[in-house]
Every structure is written in C-alpha cells, then in structure tokens.
Chain A
C-alpha cells in the first residue's frame, strides 16, 4: 500500500515534444541526403553496365559507320576503326590502352566497387530510418502524455528476493536494484539484528519467571525447527505451524517479551521499534500485496505482521505505556493507521503486540539473512485474519508468502 517513493515523469519532460520532432526532422534530412547519394551511385552503375555492353559489342565488326559529333551541334559521317583498342581511364588522370575484353574487365571491377558502396549506403539509410522511427514514436508518445514512472526500488522485494533465492537456490535477483538494495539492507539488517539479538538476550536473561517459551527461541534465529516454535506457538495461540520457523519464533518472542519485563530496555526497544516499525508498517503494506506467491506459507503470518505492525506502531507511539501494560494499552492506542480494524485482533494478541516488533526484531536477529524462510508461515488466529482483511483483503489466508517475507523485510529494515 505504501508504495515506495516514485517519480512520475511525463515523457514530455524527458523528451520534449518539439525537440523530438526536430530530431525526427534532422534524421529525415540525413536520410534524404543519403538517398540522393544512393541515386547517384545507381546512375553510375547503370552507365557502367551500358558501357560494358558497348565495349563488348564493338569488336564484333571491323569497323562501324557512325555519325561523329563535330563541335557542339554538328555531326559528320565517319567510321569507327580499331574496334578492339580502347584507352581506358584508370583513375587519377591515368589511362591505359587495353583491348575490349580487358576494358570490360576493368569496368566490371569498377562496377563491383560501386556495388559495395551502394550496399554500405543502404545499411546507413536503414539505420537512419530506424532512428527516425524511434524518434517518431517518442514524439507521439510524448504528445500523448505518456508517463514514465520510476520508483525507488525499496527493499520490499528484497526479503522476497532473498527468500526466493534462498529458497529456490536462485542466485540472481530480479533486478540489479534489488541486489544492491539487498546488499545494503543486509548490512543494515545484520547490524540491526545483531543489536536486537543482544537486547533480546539480555531481556531473556532478565526474565526468569516466564515459564513458557524462553529458552532458545528467538535469539538464535536458527529457528527452522518447530521446537521452539511449538512452544512459542503455544503461547501464541496461533495455529501456527510448527515447522515454520521464524514466525513462530517471533511470536514466541513477542510473547516472552510481554510476559516478562518488557520494560527492560524500553528505550532501546522502542528505538529499534521506532526505526523498524515505520519501515515495517510501510513495507509490510506493500509487501503484503506483492508477496503472495513467494510465500507459500500460511496466511496467518500476515495477520501477525499486521499485529506486529500495529503493536510496533503503537509501541513506537506509546512505547513505554505499552510496555508496561502489555496488553490493553496497545489496543486503545490503536493509532495504527491501517490497523484500526485490527485492534481487536491486536487485543487477542495483545500479549504480543508491544513486543511484537521487538520480538520480530529479535527474531530477526536470529534470522540469518542468508537463511531463507524455509517454510510455512505461521498462521495466526482468525482474528488477526479479520483484522488483516481490513487492510489487505487479498493478502490474507493462505500463502501469504509475502507475509513472512515481508516480515523479514520489516524486520530487516
């Protein structure tokens, strides 16, 4: 939904109409010139051929009776003798005496040279014509007001891409942009993740009374297995698929956070959340719509990220409060723009929300950018789904690959 900043450039500005027209005219002029040259050459060739004919025919007779031109306007009858002797112009003022056959050969060679010249001219004209047509089309497009839209290639697709490549082992990213982006983001991401990791560990260490999940979950991020996820999912109330990795871990983490002292490092969390929340929300929105195919995983993830978004948003806005309250606070804040409808689900996941973002972050830290989101997306509770639907109707339910991906992205961001 939030589309990356894009620039809409009307074609007219890039290729001003009249300039395009002028260019077309220029090219057409050049084409005309070349055509003239071509005609010239063709004339030469025709002359050459006729001379060859004449030269071959003359020796057929010993002498020919002809009308000899005399001055500008007179002729007199005469005879053409020495019918086999020709003085041929070789070029540069040099002449040579040759027989008819030799002359014909010379002429033929000249003809060949002319032909090659004509060929090159033809190629030239073709290129010029192509150029002219291109200019023409651009001119017409500009006139019509076609617009060129350029958008920053935000890393929305990054996670996706990353996911894809990791998943399918594809090496190449859809676009150079993506790659670059990914690289940059990777750095940021890893840094962020590392940070989050640390924070998480501290948090985890701090909280001891929490029964459920803790242990390994997020921090490692090696969550491919369902174990942690299982536990986490338990707390999370989701129908999360255990095998799904991160998401579960993430949710677990979130839960952890909430149950334990979230206040631990509220500021840091918030900061991180702040940083990521916005981005997450934004990305999430856009991602969601995009990623459907990629993520084969469950659709629940979507609601989750949403909730996370919500929570992150709310947390950012009211971090401290949320942290303290853990639950309801998140809901009422409900400032999350898109997620207003999701507040209820947020409720459900209230435990999660505040920590969601942090958790996701933490889990993100665990998430190794090189690791693909291998599997299914955690399916959140239906509420989340409904909440989601508010924002992204199409995105919910199955295979919101975008979700998990976006999650990553968000987290990465």
Chain B
C-alpha cells in the first residue's frame, strides 16, 4: 500500500514545516530583543534631551568618545540627540513591521503543520482500520 510511503512523506513534510516554524520563532525572539534595546535607548535619549533643554546657553557639554571627553556645543549636542532619537524611532518602526510579518508567517506555518498532522492522523486511522 502506499500508506507507509505516504506516512513517511507526511512525516518529512511535518519535519520541514516544524523547522521552518522554529526558525521563524527564533527570528521573532531576536526581533523582540533588538526592539527592547532600541526602546531603552530611545528612553535614555529622551531623558538627555530634557536635561539638555534645561541647561543654560553657556554650559559646557562634553561627549564621551572612547576614553576622551570632548567638549561639545550645546546646540550641536541638542541636534545630535534629536537626530539620534529620530533614527531610533525609525528603526523601531521598521522592526515592528518585520515582527508583524514574521508573526503572520509563523501563524500560517503553524496552520500548515496542523494540517499535515491531521492528514497523518487520518492516514493512521485509515491504516488502523484497514
């Protein structure tokens, strides 16, 4: 009967799909992590911006570049921080979209896996009956 072959084929199919699913899940997890990092950075930058705004015009601002504290212009620092914030927000949005995409793929893969499983079960039941 073709059953054993069919069963084997179904099993292989199931494995493939399961692998894909796990890959996707890993991607999603990574994405989540990166997103978390970015979110924290965003928060920090917003804090810095707030403090910078509180500074008087002539206050000295330094930026730590490696082991060196480099004096910076307040305006320049402000602009830099703002740009950083924008960049981080854009990154976050991009990551969000990717995560959505990944989640959808994950769901569809899950359904496919289920279907394959069901077919296998039906086959087994059929074989058992026969």
Do A and B make up one complex? Answer: yes
Residues of A within 8 A of B (CB): 87, 90-98, 106, 109-110, 113
- Beta-carbon contact of B41 and A96 below 8 Å: no
Closest B-chain residue to A98, C-beta based? B59
* Closest chain B residue to A95, Cβ basis: B62
Q: Decide yes or no whether B64 CB sits under 8 A from chain A.
A: yes
List 16 contacting pairs A-B, 8 Å CB cutoff, sorted by A.
A87-B62, A90-B47, A91-B44, A91-B51, A92-B48, A92-B84, A94-B52, A94-B63, A94-B64, A94-B72, A94-B77, A95-B64, A96-B61, A96-B62, A97-B59, A98-B55
> A94: which B residues are within 8 A, CB to CB?
48, 52, 61-64, 72, 77, 81
Contact A113/B81 with A95-B61, A95-B64 known, Cβ cut-off 8 Å? no
C-alpha gap A90/B52 in the complex (Å): 8
Q: How far is the CA of A110 from the CA of B77 in the complex (A)?
A: 20
6 closest cross-chain pairs (CB), A and B: A97-B60, A91-B48, A95-B62, A93-B64, A91-B44, A90-B48
CB <8 Å contact, A91 and B47 = yes
Q: Does chain A have a CB within 8 A of B39?
A: no
What's the Cα separation between A109 and B52 when bound, in Å? Answer: 13
Residues of B within 8 A of A95 (CB): 61-64, 69
Give min CB distance, A245 to chain B, whole Å: 57
List A contacts of B72 (CB < 8 A): 94
**Bound-complex Cα distance A90 to B78 (A):** 12
In angstroms, how far is the closest chain A Cβ from the Cβ of B59? 6
B64 and A96 contact, CB distance less than 8 A:
no
Bitwise interface map of B from 45 to 59 toward A, beta carbon under 8 Å scored 1, else 0: 101101110010001
Bound-complex Cα distance A310 to B130 (A): 50
B 108-122 contacts with A by CB, 8 A: none
Chain A CB within 10 Å — which of B45, B51, B64 has the most? B51
Those of B53-111 within 8 Å (CB) of chain A: 55, 59-65, 69, 72, 77, 81, 84
Q: In the complex, what distance in Å separates the CA atom of A96 from the CA atom of B55?
A: 8
Q: Other than A95-B61, A95-B62, A96-B59, give 15 A-B pairs with Cβ distance below 8 A.
A: A87-B62, A91-B44, A91-B45, A92-B41, A93-B65, A94-B61, A94-B62, A94-B63, A96-B61, A96-B62, A97-B60, A97-B61, A97-B62, A109-B51, A113-B47
The CA of A98 and the CA of B65, in the complex, are separated in Å by 20
Q: Is the CB of B51 within 8 A of A96?
A: yes
Q: Is the CB of A92 within 8 A of B44?
A: yes
CB distance from A86 to the nearest CB of B (A): 11
Assembled-state Cα–Cα distance A377/B44 (Å): 78
Residues of A within 8 A of B59 (CB): 96-98
Once bound together, how far apart are the Cα atoms of A98 and B61, in whole Å?
A: 9
CB distance from B89 to the nearest CB of A (A): 15
Nearest chain-A residue to B50 (Cβ)? A109
The docked-state distance in angstroms from the alpha carbon of A110 to that of B47 is 9
